[in-house]
């Protein structure tokens, strides 16, 4: 999923007003931390320069 799509989903119509995707990075970081705590750490992959991908074995 592209970063822009995540930004729009997280903040709605105001996503256009943000200069950076720092809030997306923070949400993904927290999500990855929670997934790691539950032993699901390898599923959410970062695709450099694009966004994120959910992968199962």
Domain regions of the chain by residue span: 3-54
pTM of the model: 0.68
- What does the block give as tokens for 41? 């750490």
Instruction: Answer whether 52's CB lies under 8 Å from 46's CB.
Output: yes
Separation between Cα atoms, residue 7 and residue 38, nearest integer Å: 25
Is 5 a residue whose pLDDT tops 60? yes
Of the two residues 15 and 55, the one the predictor is more confident about is 55
- What does the block give as tokens for 57? 């074995």
What contacts 22, CB < 8 A, 6 or more positions away?
A: none
- Per residue in 25-54, pLDDT tens? 888 899 999 999 998 888 989 888 888 888
């Amino acid at each position: 999923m592209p970063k822009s799509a995540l930004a729009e989903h997280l903040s709605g119509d105001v996503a256009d007003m943000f200069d950076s995707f720092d809030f997306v990075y923070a949400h993904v970081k927290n999500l990855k931390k929670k997934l790691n705590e539950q032993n699901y750490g390898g599923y959410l992959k970062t695709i450099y320069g694009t966004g994120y991908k959910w992968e199962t074995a």
